[in-house]
């Protein structure tokens, strides 16, 4: 981050030291003294949470609870069905359905942990409440370019998942021995889902060492895989077939694939947004396809998900064209245009990029 603006701009009346201190997020090790005595802790993650988001939140929830803290985990919205089996999910508040309880927990908290997002807008309606909170905010996240609003944290884009970083945090605290089968199940869910079942390039040797450690602690990886991938409804299975036949377009000239799903498509099969998990990856299984996009019509906006292979940076693509961001090979964005217009705009951008 470049601080020259603040240091060499005498016309600014802002207290330079305060601004630079805020931008320079303190290392997470500096929170250790804050955690020596029992605290009230609020943990949250991004809207439309995935396996890494909830796995990280619940893994940290179990760990901090074992340390004697009073912990309230909050999701900005509802969870997809395939995560409802997770240990501790019954303690998770849904901000959209339980806003009063969530706000009360936030106001009473001594510390706020923010996991698997680095911009407050990613929590949707919870974002403004978080922005107004004055308690220390602690970030654990692996996305690029964090917003300058956190007091302490770990921001490491090279990490496979936030779940891996929660595992690292527990080890930094010297508490590896406290990792039980509940914590292991949560963290394994996060790292497995965010690495595409360990096939993405971010799956480092450290990831496999972590899984080995979790296995030694009693992790039942087979059961977790079944809970995540073998509990589909009949409607979801039929929906997948419909999408692949009717809603997937392949552009061999551009080595790209597109899946576009309208609200009508989802209503036709009575599926929810959580049932879309993993769909964006499907075109990538086709030979020579190294860029895949899924465009989804939502009630208030159009969402885009991007995946790539090799050195095509979809985080930069999302940031440049669709007000988004993420990782080099996995990112997302939004569009204020209509569903049909967004599809048309995407195809034009795809054509323009390859025409250069």
CATH number at residue 276: 3.10.310.30
Most confident range (mean pLDDT) of 36-50, 266-280, 313-327 is 36-50
pLDDT at 14 over 60: no
Query: Mean per-residue pLDDT for 211-221?
Result: 98
Claim to verify: residue 249 and residue 196 sit in the same structural domain: no
Portion of the chain with pLDDT greater than 70, in percent:
93
Claim to verify: residue 220 and residue 275 sit in the same structural domain: no
Claim to verify: residue 249 and residue 151 sit in the same structural domain: no
Claim to verify: residue 184 and residue 272 sit in the same structural domain: no
Residue spans of beta strands (DSSP E) within the chain = 26-27, 40-44, 70-75, 93-94, 111-115, 137-141, 152-155, 248-251, 256-261, 291-297, 302-308, 325-326, 330-335
Claim to verify: residue 240 and residue 314 sit in the same structural domain: yes
Distance, C-alpha 24 to centroid of its chain: 23
Structural domain count, the chain: 2
Claim to verify: residue 180 and residue 245 sit in the same structural domain: no
Per-residue confidence band for 356, with pLDDT thresholds at 50, 70 and 90: low
pLDDT at 8 over 90: no
Any idea of the CA torsion for 49, 53, 54, 56, to the nearest 10 degrees? Answer: -170
Q: How many residues does the chain have?
A: 356
Tell me which of 252 and 14 has the higher pLDDT.
Answer: 252
Instruction: Find, among 180, 211, 227, the residue nearest to 66 by Cα.
Output: 180
**Alpha-helix runs per DSSP H in 93-180:** 99-108, 126-132, 162-172
For residue 129, what are the domain limits? 4-228
Claim to verify: residue 107 and residue 197 sit in the same structural domain: yes
pLDDT confidence of residue 179: 98
């Amino acid at each position: 981050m470049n601080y020259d603006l603040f240091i060499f701009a005498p016309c600014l009346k802002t207290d330079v030291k305060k601004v630079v201190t805020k931008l320079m997020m303190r290392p997470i090790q500096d929170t250790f003294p804050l955690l020596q005595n029992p605290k009230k802790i609020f943990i949250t993650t991004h809207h439309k949470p995935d396996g890494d988001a909830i796995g990280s939140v619940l893994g940290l929830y179990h760990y901090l609870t074992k340390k004697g803290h009073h912990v309230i985990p909050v999701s900005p919205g509802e969870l997809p069905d395939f995560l409802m089996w997770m240990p501790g999910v019954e303690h998770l508040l849904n901000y959209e359905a339980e806003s009063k309880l969530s706000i009360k927990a936030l106001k009473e908290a001594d510390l706020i942990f923010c996991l698997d997002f680095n911009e407050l807008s990613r929590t949707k309606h919870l974002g403004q409440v978080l922005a107004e909170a004055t308690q220390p905010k602690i970030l654990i996240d692996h996305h690029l370019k964090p917003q300058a609003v956190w007091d302490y944290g770990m921001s490491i884009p090279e990490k496979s998942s936030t779940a891996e970083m929660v595992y690292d945090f527990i080890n930094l605290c010297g508490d590896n021995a406290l990792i039980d089968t509940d914590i292991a199940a949560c963290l394994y869910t996060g790292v497995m889902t965010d690495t595409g079942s360990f096939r993405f390039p971010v799956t480092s040797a450290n990831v496999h060492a972590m899984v080995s450690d979790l296995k030694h602690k009693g992790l039942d990886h087979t059961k977790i895989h079944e809970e995540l991938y073998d509990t589909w409804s009949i409607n979801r299975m039929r929906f997948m077939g419909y999408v692949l036949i009717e809603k997937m377009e392949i552009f061999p000239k551009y080595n790209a694939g597109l899946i576009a799903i309208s609200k009508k498509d989802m209503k036709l099969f009575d599926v929810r947004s959580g049932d879309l998990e993993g769909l964006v990856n499907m075109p990538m299984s086709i030979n020579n396809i190294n860029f895949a996009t899924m465009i989804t019509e939502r009630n208030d906006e159009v969402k885009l998900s991007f995946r790539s292979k090799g050195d095509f940076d979809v985080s930069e693509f999302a940031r440049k064209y669709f007000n988004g961001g993420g990782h080099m090979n996995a990112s997302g964005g939004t569009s204020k245009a209509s569903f049909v217009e967004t599809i048309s705009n995407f195809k034009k951008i795809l054509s323009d990029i390859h025409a250069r």
